Chain A
């Protein structure tokens, strides 16, 4: 069988899985990934351009505190409405606001606060898991588990997705200005603190979108690798956002197909695909430069 025919067969099988009622969780994961890709491409580009990957890392790890709190509340108090994704979104927003305070109001070093939020968030989450009645395996939240995705999660992700995209489009000039030159943005009357805090909140909400699929440990890679790869081929931020969204969709879909075909964990497979995609982008860009100026 030629590689082209093999790829066609794999895609046909994957399509059958998507439409098969027995594998509804794969369909949910695909829909979630497709919806989240646009937000990931847009916010990921801002993260890469502003060089705040470490901030996104702190926010993504802090969500474990919210997930742990929701699991504890559901088990101990029967608060079934307090969904783990809702807990994750709340914790991410609190972490984002604390990071905003550290940036503008506190005298403490920003990197120290980032480190504190990063590790304390994980610690609080693990303690909640330990205190919750019954046994909870944190691995699903750390590295993702598509079996946990339900219709309710899809709706929550869809709403968050629309909010993130609308805010990013609406305030694109301000966000771009704050990322490129904070002083000049301030001079033009842009409320810089508010805009930076908005960026942090966008990062926080975006992190939550794909936690169910790739988990909190790996989600930052999916936020930054498509954007970093796109940055090799684009001249402006909006072009980077558009290409990063497409790449994110390709990486998530390819990862889903591979993980289903080879019976591998979905989250790590998607991230591996994104890593390979990034490496290929680096190689392709270098090759283009070499061809354009062979003497150098």
Chain B
């Protein structure tokens, strides 16, 4: 780990009601590291993300984001949740979704010229400039993922959180995503949650295995035997959405 910590969990425990999810977790993610959290369902991966985002508070221990409490440090995080959590019928264009990244607290009014320039830039960066006026709900799975990455980038973050970035994404979109994340890694700390063993092995340098406790491994050490030990079963690839669209820059609707 590098000296400067982007995210630090010190003796963190968390439980939903009486069900413990994380116990005595110590984890430091250095600046400009690319880390993947893997583990079984209910193992605590998303809980770790939510603790760092300040959406929930640990029962014990301390969480820091860029040396600050999560509620203060989270403005430096670009967060990409799973796109399947969104209402496909919500009346919102791709550009409006991305522009949410420029929101500044309760400051009223509309976007500045610089905000608009950043939104255009990140839309181009994920090859969605041509879809800016399309309804978000009309995009394919891969395009939605890219729109949500653009929203996270519009924050101009120091840290990028990606929750299941390959869920419901077709093979072509996955390859584009892989290339994009490699490019972003040169300037950002990236933390992702994934069930996709193949995707993880191709991309990250460090894998954090989360199953109530955490253990950190270099990605090349991850083997089927280790995964079997962690999960009690083989780690399966996520469902890839080959019907959701062509994953190209073409917009629908």
CB of A1 within 8 Å of the partner chain = no
- Provide the bound-state CA to CA distance between A49 and B74, in Å: 27
- Interface of chain B residues 75 through 101 with chain A (CB within 8 A): 75, 77, 79, 81, 86-87, 89-93, 96-97, 99-101
CB of B172 within 8 Å of the partner chain = no
Closest to A51 in B: B87
* Chain A residue contacts of B53, Cβ below 8 A: 183, 187
**Would A180 and B90 count as touching, CB distance under 8 A?**
yes
* Chain B residue contacts of A170, Cβ below 8 A: 108-109
Q: Which of A190, A191, A235, A237 is most buried by chain B, counting CB atoms within 10 A of its CB?
A: A235
- Interface of chain B residues 10 through 30 with chain A (CB within 8 A): none
**Would A181 and B100 count as touching, CB distance under 8 A?**
yes
- Interface of chain A residues 153 through 189 with chain B (CB within 8 A): 170-174, 176-177, 179-181, 183-189
Determine how close the nearest CB of chain B comes to the CB of A47; give it in whole angstroms. 12
* Chain B residue contacts of A234, Cβ below 8 A: 91
- Provide the bound-state CA to CA distance between A172 and B101, in Å: 15
Q: A183-B81, A184-B151, A186-B55 are in contact. Are A174 and B106 (CB under 8 A)?
A: yes
Closest to B85 in A: A181
Interface size on A, residues (CB 8 A): 31
- Provide the bound-state CA to CA distance between A174 and B134, in Å: 21
**Would B104 and A189 count as touching, CB distance under 8 A?**
yes
CB of B232 within 8 Å of the partner chain = no
CB of A239 within 8 Å of the partner chain = yes
**Would A188 and B100 count as touching, CB distance under 8 A?**
yes
**Would B91 and A185 count as touching, CB distance under 8 A?**
no
**Would B91 and A239 count as touching, CB distance under 8 A?**
yes
- Provide the bound-state CA to CA distance between A195 and B108, in Å: 12
**Would B100 and A236 count as touching, CB distance under 8 A?**
no
- Provide the bound-state CA to CA distance between A176 and B89, in Å: 14
CB of B165 within 8 Å of the partner chain = no
- Provide the bound-state CA to CA distance between A236 and B55, in Å: 28
CB of A45 within 8 Å of the partner chain = yes
Q: Contact check: which of A173, A181, A187, A190 meets B74 at CB < 8 Å?
A: A187
CB of A36 within 8 Å of the partner chain = no
CB of B141 within 8 Å of the partner chain = no
CB of B226 within 8 Å of the partner chain = no
CB of A4 within 8 Å of the partner chain = no
CB of B142 within 8 Å of the partner chain = no
- Interface of chain A residues 15 through 59 with chain B (CB within 8 A): 45, 49, 51
Closest to A173 in B: B103
Determine how close the nearest CB of chain A comes to the CB of B113; give it in whole angstroms. 16
- Interface of chain B residues 189 through 242 with chain A (CB within 8 A): none
Determine how close the nearest CB of chain B comes to the CB of A174; give it in whole angstroms. 6
* Chain B residue contacts of A190, Cβ below 8 A: 103, 105-106
* Chain A residue contacts of B111, Cβ below 8 A: 173
Instruction: Render B51-65 as a binary contact track against A, CB cut-off 8 A, 1 for contact.
Output: 001010000000000
- Provide the bound-state CA to CA distance between A172 and B96, in Å: 12
* Chain B residue contacts of A100, Cβ below 8 A: none
**Would B91 and A45 count as touching, CB distance under 8 A?**
yes
Closest to A182 in B: B55
**Would B79 and A189 count as touching, CB distance under 8 A?**
no
CB of A291 within 8 Å of the partner chain = no
Q: Contact check: which of B77, B89, B90, B134 meets A187 at CB < 8 Å?
A: B77
* Chain B residue contacts of A51, Cβ below 8 A: 87
Determine how close the nearest CB of chain A comes to the CB of B205; give it in whole angstroms. 26
Q: A177-B100, A184-B79 are in contact. Are A236 and B91 (CB under 8 A)?
A: yes
- Interface of chain B residues 105 through 119 with chain A (CB within 8 A): 105-106, 108-111
Interface of B toward A, CB cutoff 8 Å? 53, 55, 74-75, 77, 79, 81, 86-87, 89-93, 96-97, 99-101, 103-106, 108-111, 133-135, 151, 155, 253
Pairs A-B, 6 closest by C-beta atoms: A189-B105, A188-B103, A170-B108, A240-B91, A235-B135, A236-B93
Can you sample 21 A-B contacts with CB below 8 Å?
A51-B87, A173-B99, A173-B109, A176-B96, A176-B100, A180-B86, A181-B100, A183-B79, A184-B79, A184-B81, A187-B74, A187-B75, A188-B101, A188-B155, A189-B104, A190-B105, A191-B105, A231-B89, A235-B91, A235-B134, A237-B92
